[in-house]
Structure 1
């Protein structure tokens, strides 16, 4: 049996008729940029998340970049972020001229909030919390720190659509929540797409201006902006999928529960879920001592796999200028050498799940 790491076609086929009807509807409307579909999606996603405002954008990276731009994070400022995140999180900081200040993760792969305060300086302006792999971060201590030091809080929710801390969804704790709707995300479009959520009307209005060439009114440019508009077709697709998101999420939780309960192998460390947090399992990440051997074994047995992420941002060529030496973040670097993601996708059938469990237990 050959199990793909991810199979987006299966998910498309689940709601194929609805997607096809939506694209025809948008094409027949004659309006393709910043129209009714985008506005309706913004309203519906804000309601789903529990925020006052949502602004649709062209990608998750744009959401991060525009969020920090709207908060006036700039050259000379510092933003605290976990060291084991995907590099796009860090790019959102540095593309505004600010400096990322890294903090080690905890055993849940999210930021170790006990290590944040020691990194705060008079240049610190914000904390970027990344709800990595689909698990909500424990926000209690982080909110206290932000209040104590008067810091902005930005959430990277690219992998955590629908995840909650103490019953409240990610994307509602900070000044801005940043979402990606890349096709492989739990709420994925059929191309690049993103959004921000916020309870601050001024921030929402600023990002609406920034996404459209810095223009609030056509040809009246208030600032130097971007071209980062969520298009009508992608917004329409997202509206279809949003209606089914809770069901899709339950399916992933079911697969993850089977993995957690039935993968029994002393060579494999299963993911943990933190107290008061929920996971929507964008990724199911194992920790393995000899990853190369395990990957070779999975490939031989045709079980798809992927490493998220083999090179931590601080060791990437892109951030070589920061001068951070190897060994500076030992737990981050250990995770980079040991974590491996196994198949978890909507439409995965019982036989496929059984096979993945069987193969891993035999390792």
Structure 2
């Protein structure tokens, strides 16, 4: 008997009527980019996380890349962990920075003591990665960042809704890939921040640097979350407690 590691179709089967209803709503409106669904999703996630700004983007990888570009890392070092997906290191290199690896502790999360040892005059920031729903030692990491004048970009792709993940640093980056706790039916991501200046730049970077339609202040990207994905993730957000409960039940089953 073949058992799927992650049967992604289950969410649709459990909530078929609601999922199909929001799809009809989007199709009937005929607005597929930066419409009401994206605006509502933005506000709902912002409220859920308790942050001043939430910027929806096309993927978790884009969230990291745009954050690094907005903060400016060219020619400088960014500390992160090798024990994760390639996206954090890839984003640092794409933004013109240099990756400084720091190992994990016994909890498989980046070790703050080793971060302190790795900081030098070229270091500009830290990307702690929250894994498996476990949150890094953010008090220690923020203390180090403040001491040395570093930014902190939290990679919270695997920890949406877990212990304030993504809300402590300069900004927090989230992935809404179908395998994530706040998933969907395609790619998606977002950036949370309380920094008004950073949010202003990120909002423009995600849409070709536009200040207004067809007027670019600087080169940007096409990194918009579309209406269909925003609408579907609004459903997923409403079911988040239920999804977390199911995953905890599965964890208990595996631990028996």
2:101 aligns with: 102
**For residues 170 and 105 of structure 1, what CA distance do their matches in structure 2 show?**
18
Tell me the equivalent position of 2:64.
64
Structure 1 residue 133: deviation in Å? Answer: 2.2
Q: State the shift of 1:9 in Å.
A: 1.1
SS where residue 12 of structure 1 aligns?
helix
- Structure 1 counterpart of 2:243, from 240, 248, 265: 248
Aligned to 1:347: none
Which residue number corresponds to residue 314 of structure 1?
none
SS at match of 2:78: strand
Question: CA offsets per residue over residues 147-193 of structure 1, 9 Å max, x none?
Answer: 110100000011111111xxxx1010111100111111111121111
1:91 aligns with 2:90: yes
Q: 1:183 aligns with which of 178, 183, 198?
A: 178
Corresponding residue for residue 122 of structure 2: 123
Residue pairs, 1:27-176, within 5 angstroms: 27-74=27-74, 76-164=75-163, 169-176=164-171
Q: 2:136 & 2:249 partners in 1: Cα distance?
A: 21
Residues 1:11 and 2:11 aligned together: yes
| TM score, norm. by length of structure 1 | 0.69
What is the CA deviation profile of residues 211-248 of structure 1, one whole-angstrom value per residue up to 9, with x for unaligned ones?
A: 10110201110000000000000000000110010111
Matched-pair contact (CA < 8 Å) for 1:177–1:198: yes
Residues 297-330 of structure 1, C-alpha deviations (whole Å, 9 max, x = no match):
xxxxxxxxxxxxxxxxxxxxxxxxxxxxxxxxxx
In the aligned structure 2, how far is the partner of 1:94 from the partner of 1:115?
A: 22
- Tell me, what secondary structure is at the counterpart of 1:179? strand
| Number of aligned residue pairs | 256
Counterpart-to-counterpart distance in 1, 2:29 and 2:243: 29
Q: How is 1:155-304 mapped onto 2 (pairs within 5 angstroms)? A: 155-164=154-163, 169-260=164-255, 262=256
Higher radius of gyration, 1 or 2: 1
SS in 2 for 1:116: helix
Q: CA deviation at 1:54?
A: 0.5
| Deviation by residue 1:119-150 (Cα, 9 ceiling, x = unmatched) | 10111000001001221112111011011101
Give the TM-score taking structure 2 as reference length. 0.98
Aligned-pair Cα RMSD in Å: 1.0
The answer to whether the Cα contact below 8 Å between 1:208 and 1:216 also exists between their aligned partners in 2 is no
C-alpha separation in 1, matches of 2:84 and 2:203: 27
Secondary structure, aligned partner of 1:170: coil
